């Protein structure tokens, strides 16, 4: 892909990502202010599903950009943090499960920032990381729907566990895999700076 295309800012995937972030206050309003758990669960599920949409559009229509590679993972982390914190506030999912997921996300986010500051090359998300995120992005809306007043709430809770446990295992396995990957990207980034003083881009 030409460098000029990778440096584009205004692309359809980037717009979709920004729209996802703009919907977070609405989610918080529905969940915390109005206690509309079913509606908040549906919105959170839609926001999670659109992560696949912007990635597909970026690849299918050749709109992959350096900004998108950084912005999309950041949007995923914010969706996780805002979504889960809201669920914790209303007691919409088991606390232990929420904190285990948040702990992993916090460690990964801090590690990504530290590696970037140390000059590491950009790290692409692994398949295990993507699969874990995908499962968890549906597990939490399902937990939330399972804690609502819907007559089908027990069914939603059962599906939440079916998505949540595999998602938890995959996400932690991916975190372990990122350790050697991160160290290698740090070595490569430092070697690249020796030959080329221009800093490389980085995405968590």
Q: Which of 62, 85, 64, 76 is nearest to 17 (CA)?
A: 76
pLDDT more than 70, % of the chain: 83
Whether 97 contacts 105, CB under 8 Å: no
127 vs 125, more confident: 127
Whether 109 contacts 175, CB under 8 Å: no
Structure tokens at 16: 């979709």
SS3 201: coil
Predicted confidence at residue 195, as pLDDT, reads: 67
Q: Which of 43, 18, 16 is nearest to 29 (CA)?
A: 43
Q: Which of 201, 204, 6 is nearest to 121 (CA)?
A: 201
| Spatial separation of the C-alpha atoms in residues 125 and 178, rounded to whole Å | 9
Predicted confidence at residue 74, as pLDDT, reads: 79
- pLDDT (tens digit, 9 = 90+) per residue, 50-78? 777 767 776 776 666 666 667 777 787 88
**pTM exceeding the 0.85 threshold for the entire prediction:** no
Task: Say how many CA atoms lie within 13 Å of 191 toward its Cβ.
Answer: 6
Residue 201: pLDDT band (50, 70, 90) is very low
Structure tokens at 99: 């904190």
Residue 6 pLDDT exceeds 80: no
pLDDT more than 90, % of the chain: 43
- pLDDT (tens digit, 9 = 90+) per residue, 165-194? 999 999 999 999 988 888 888 888 778 776
Residue 100 pLDDT exceeds 80: yes
Structure tokens at 158: 């059962």
Residue 117 pLDDT exceeds 50: yes
| Spatial separation of the C-alpha atoms in residues 135 and 32, rounded to whole Å | 24
| Spatial separation of the C-alpha atoms in residues 71 and 19, rounded to whole Å | 12
Residue 202: pLDDT band (50, 70, 90) is very low
Level-2 CATH architecture, domain 3-195: Up-down Bundle (1.20)
| Spatial separation of the C-alpha atoms in residues 183 and 18, rounded to whole Å | 31
Whether 135 contacts 164, CB under 8 Å: yes
What are the sequence ranges of the domains in the chain? 3-195
- pLDDT (tens digit, 9 = 90+) per residue, 146-158? 999 999 999 999 9
């Amino acid at each position: 892909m030409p460098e000029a295309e990778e440096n584009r800012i205004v692309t359809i995937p980037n717009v979709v990502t920004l729209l996802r972030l703009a919907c977070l206050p609405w989610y918080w309003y529905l969940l915390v202010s109005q206690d509309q758990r079913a509606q908040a669960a549906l919105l959170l599920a839609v926001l999670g599903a659109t992560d696949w949409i912007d990635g597909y559009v970026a690849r299918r229509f050749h709109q992959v950009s350096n900004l998108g590679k950084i912005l999309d993972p950041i949007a995923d982390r914010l969706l996780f943090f805002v979504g889960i914190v809201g669920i914790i506030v209303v007691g919409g999912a088991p606390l232990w499960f929420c904190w285990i997921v948040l702990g992993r996300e916090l460690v990964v986010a801090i590690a990504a920032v530290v590696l970037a500051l140390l000059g590491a090359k950009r790290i692409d998300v692994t398949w295990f990381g993507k699969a874990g995120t995908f499962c968890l992005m549906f597990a939490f809306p399902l937990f939330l729907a399972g804690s609502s007043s819907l007559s089908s709430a027990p069914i939603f809770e059962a599906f939440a566990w079916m998505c949540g446990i595999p998602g938890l295992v995959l996400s932690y396995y991916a975190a372990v895999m990122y350790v050697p990957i991160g160290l290698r990207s740090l070595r490569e980034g430092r070697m690249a700076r020796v030959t080329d003083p221009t800093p490389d881009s980085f995405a968590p």
